[in-house]
Structure 1
Amino acid sequence: MRLRNTIIVLVLFAIVGGYAFIVGRYSQTEATQKLLDVKQDDIAKIELKYSDRDIVLERDKGKPWRIVKPIGADADQAQAGNLARAIADGVLVRTVDDKPADLAPFGLKPPTTTVTVTTFDNKTPPSIEVGKSTPIGFNTYVRLSNSPAVLLTEGAFSAGMNKTVNDLRVRDLMAFKLDDVQKLTIARDNGQAVEIDRDGDNWKIVKPAAYGADDTAVRMALSTLVNARASDFISDAPANVNQYGLEKPHLTATVVLKNGEQQSMLFGFKQNEQGKSGIYVRRGERAPVYAVAEYVMTSLDKSPLDFRDKTIVKFDPESVETVKVKNSDGEFTLKRAAGGKWDVIVGGKTSEGDIPVVERLLNQFRDLKGESIVADPMPSAQPFGLDNPALEITLTGKDGRELGTVRLAKISVKPTVPAIPGEPPQRTEYYANSSGSKAVYSLSDFSFAQLNKPAPLYMANAPASAAPQAAASPAK
């Protein structure tokens, strides 16, 4: 009995092992056959021949691709690389007809595209003639130049070979690293200009007057320039640029790099072709005319006030001895006490301050920035509500000197045009100015609310009923 069981087990093992061998032997995936025996990295030249155009790309070993026909231009390396990869990876699905009597039914008389490559060792594999797509299965008919047979390849191959010069051209207009920029100048056609120079790790406005610059605004402008892409290629050798508004451009943005190199972009008219919305541009150092998205120009068409540092008051929180606050509730003072503590003084009574809350106020006040500089100098305080501010904060240093006073206003403004249905009949605006500047800044409601808080909120064990209150101000 035991012997019989052993024999049965051995037979079962033999059956299972034999089945596994047969499945493994005969179900191996057949190796994919390529149209051409060529590797992407070995391709040095690609020729694309169409009924109405020829395009030729070339590269030297280790060098980038260039378009050499019908124009001489830098190629988009990603596009050129994808093209070379698609050619090298072209798959032979199957043979349709070894000796077709007529090529026309396959779209191969003539072919829509003829693709020829040359390798770095000067070998030229057979050209690939591309026909039309199959009605079922989404494959493409192709033929190799060294054989009469009609073959099938994957459907994406046809689309991948259908290129124009504009598809393959590099669309980058300016090439520089932000950290290499030493100077940025933006000049308008009315003669106004702003010049911003690097000052160590920061930026400063030097024209039309000397001011600190908003580093974020400057870097955003530089990023807009270096990331600008051509949306359209207008003319490589324009005889006259007047028609594009580039003889006297509306705006000229120029960067000067640390090595002395200068790059400029000139902005002209809006495109006049139907369905187009770009702006005509050219590089100041080059002839071709391109188009870019309209936002590129609007992002750069800024005034000196837009690039100004919008910090409202500058101070070191560690140097502050007292913070005097006036708001609609009255007045109170935050005073530094021994042992790193703070006192809150209201109506002659002193309470222990909540240290983290007071320190957070100082940090918020130090970081307070206007959303924009509305005017400099401020023509009058009354239109901005600053003749009767909703909030006034004065900082005094440990030496008894005033570090700065900031006045903040909240006003209601009625629209000057008929209101849109559903729109509030008036809006609220916030403004600020400081004793250290003649400028008036616009503020966000959030920034105003962060500073406009009642005295109890700064006390240790603040009453639960205490809450920030918006200061009232009469409508203007």
Structure 2
Amino acid sequence: MRRSVWTVATGVVFVGLLAVWAVWMRPAGSRQAPGTTVLEVEPAEVQALVVEHRDGVTVEIQRDGDGWRIGRPRPVPASSSAVDSLLRALAPLEARRVIASGPSDGEGDGTVDPAAFGLAPPQAVLTLTLADGSSRRLRVGDPTPVSQGLPAYYAQDERSGAIYTIDAYVAEQITGSWESFRERRLVPLAVDDVRLVRIRRDGVTLEARRDPQAPVAERRWRLMAPYQAPGDTQAIESVLRDLEFARIGRFVDDEPSADALAGWGLASPRAVIEVEYVASEQAETTATVVVMVGHEADEGSRYVKLAGSPSVYTLPQSDLQAALEAAADDWVRRRVLGLARSEIQRISIGMEGRPGPYTLERDPQGGWRLAPQGEALETGEVESWLDSLWRLQAEGVAAVGRGAQPPQRSTGGQATVIELTVAGHDGVPVTRLVIPVPLQAAAGDGGSAALRRVYVEQGQDRLVYEIADDALRGIEGVIAKWTAPEQGAGSSPSASR
């Protein structure tokens, strides 16, 4: 009990001493300032900002179209979010306390020395130039020792001469490093606007293009180098999304020497990433950014530089990993069919050693019929099967182009391949798949390989995919059900397993 009383008493004494110290440190005549405005500007009216630091550094920021650009100490892009954040804080800037009122209200006694608050000279002077040509200036001094339990700084409005305390988060935006206003976004692009990506690394060029006429939602990329093939959207756009959200870690040097560039691995870059994107939909203009990647810098980062700019930065390794590890085979489309389910109008089915071909076709009412019998199939079953076909993903790519050959048919009368020819709404065949049926399964021994090689032909493309056997069994089973003779379903490949 005595210990509890002693603890409470100690706390009371501590709080009392803290209050006495706060009052003692508070300048005479200061008062709380609820609702007192230090500075008020309309952000849209501000055309330029100048911050003059006590150490002699001057930062000049000019409005540039819809954004901002730094003119001094170096002409570099500005972070619109950083500048706009400061301007929003000034619309209006509220005082925490009034230290000394200006002569305009008659309350000042003239005895307050601005130097006592770090205001003569100040840490920084902010000058705002407005659209009408007028300007407002705010001086920011030292941090306060105590201000209602929250960090604050002394500040002075040059127009009135009054001295206030203001929130630290506003003051520190003004007094902080000029680099806090620099743009940290590496490249100004959005994935939806990209039309080309090219990576040169280790003597190999990897290039993919997207059809500029195709809707963005279709996301149809094409691998152009080192060979041509349908592109894999997810793999290609993982590189682009990393670049879209890449943020500069450190500003290394804005005027590097040739020796410094060589030391950072930027004279002969480890990789060069080139991206072409739509800069203006209205003007139908494109722009290109080129990112050069050098040696490792700090742990987990690399030196980078944009072509056409002298500045060198560091970028997190994670923002470059997909580009540095990209390979042609990984950029080849893994979705086997390459069509949306809604695009499919007709599928011709052929099975070696079986009557056929069969044709699965959409009727005018949206249902499905199987020829030559003309049998109406259950719509739900067909749609589910089409989903399985559309979702069919390859585990790997075994061959592309001339090296891609369809599997050989058997001459033994057994069904050894299934051929699907998929046509779109215009009736023109779009995709041909040749699926091998494992011989051991057809022979009825129950065995099957983990992967099967499926030949796919789409337009000018020829590919051989490696597909998990389990993913194909369900597709084959439905085909066997549709094409089996009324009394001979047991002869289907699926039934024999």
**TM-score grouping bracket, smaller chain normalisation:** 0.5 to 0.7
Q: How does 1:13-412 map to 2 (within 5 A)?
A: 32-52=35-55, 54-60=57-63, 64-97=67-100, 106=117, 108=119, 111-135=122-146, 136-138=148-150, 140-144=152-156, 146=158, 150-176=163-189, 178=191, 181-188=194-201, 190-199=202-211, 200-201=213-214, 202-240=220-258, 241-256=261-276, 259=285, 261-271=287-297, 273=298, 276-301=299-324, 302-312=326-336, 318-322=345-349, 324=351, 340-342=368-370, 354-373=378-397, 393-395=418-420, 403-407=432-436
Helix, strand or coil for the counterpart of 2:186? coil
Q: CA 1:91–1:320 in 2, change beyond 3 Å: closer, same or farther?
A: closer
> Residue 87 of structure 2 aligns to which amino acid in structure 1?
A
Q: What is the aligned residue count?
A: 397
> Residue 222 of structure 2 aligns to which amino acid in structure 1?
K
- In structure 2, how many angstroms separate the alpha carbons of the residues matched to 1:76 and 1:270? 26
> Residue 172 of structure 2 aligns to which amino acid in structure 1?
A
> Residue 131 of structure 1 aligns to which amino acid in structure 2?
D
Q: CA deviation at 1:144?
A: 1.7
What's the % identity of the aligned pairs? 19
> Residue 77 of structure 2 aligns to which amino acid in structure 1?
D
Query: Is contact 1:100-1:149 (8 Å) kept?
Result: no
Write the deviation string for residues 389-440 of structure 1: whole angstroms up to 9, x where unpaired.
Answer: xx964437899x994322489xxxxxxxxxxxxxxxxxx9655432658755
Q: CA deviation at 1:138?
A: 1.2
- In structure 2, how many angstroms separate the alpha carbons of the residues matched to 1:397 and 1:259? 37
Write the deviation string for residues 294-341 of structure 1: whole angstroms up to 9, x where unpaired.
Answer: 122222231121222234356885433436599xxxx99995589944
Helix, strand or coil for the counterpart of 2:37? coil
Helix, strand or coil for the counterpart of 2:44? helix
- In structure 1, how many angstroms separate the alpha carbons of the residues matched to 2:386 and 2:199? 36
- In structure 1, how many angstroms separate the alpha carbons of the residues matched to 2:422 and 2:42? 72
Q: CA deviation at 1:216?
A: 4.4
Q: CA deviation at 1:215?
A: 4.0
Q: CA deviation at 1:203?
A: 3.3
Q: How does 1:407-418 map to 2 (within 5 A)?
A: 407=436
Query: Is contact 1:142-1:150 (8 Å) kept?
Result: yes
Helix, strand or coil for the counterpart of 1:125? strand
Query: Is contact 1:324-1:393 (8 Å) kept?
Result: yes
Q: CA 1:355–1:332 in 2, change beyond 3 Å: closer, same or farther?
A: farther
Query: Is contact 2:337-2:392 (8 Å) kept?
Result: yes
Q: CA 1:405–1:67 in 2, change beyond 3 Å: closer, same or farther?
A: same
Query: Is contact 1:313-1:434 (8 Å) kept?
Result: no
> Residue 65 of structure 1 aligns to which amino acid in structure 2?
W
Q: CA 1:134–1:321 in 2, change beyond 3 Å: closer, same or farther?
A: same
Query: Normalising to structure 2: TM-score of the pair?
Result: 0.64
- In structure 2, how many angstroms separate the alpha carbons of the residues matched to 1:286 and 1:109? 39
Partner of 2:19 in structure 1?
none
Partner of 1:424 in structure 2?
none
Helix, strand or coil for the counterpart of 2:336? coil
Partner of 1:388 in structure 2?
none
Helix, strand or coil for the counterpart of 2:183? coil
Write the deviation string for residues 147-190 of structure 1: whole angstroms up to 9, x where unpaired.
Answer: 675422334333333432322111233234656544332111x2
Of 444-453 and 293-302, more deviation after overlay is shown by 444-453
- In structure 2, how many angstroms separate the alpha carbons of the residues matched to 1:429 and 1:397? 26
The RMSD of aligned alpha carbons is 4.8
Query: Normalising to structure 1: TM-score of the pair?
Result: 0.66
Q: CA deviation at 1:75?
A: 0.9
Helix, strand or coil for the counterpart of 1:127? strand
Query: Is contact 2:404-2:464 (8 Å) kept?
Result: no
> Residue 140 of structure 1 aligns to which amino acid in structure 2?
A
- In structure 2, how many angstroms separate the alpha carbons of the residues matched to 1:116 and 1:68? 15
Helix, strand or coil for the counterpart of 2:67? coil
Q: CA 1:341–1:39 in 2, change beyond 3 Å: closer, same or farther?
A: closer
Query: Is contact 1:45-1:56 (8 Å) kept?
Result: no
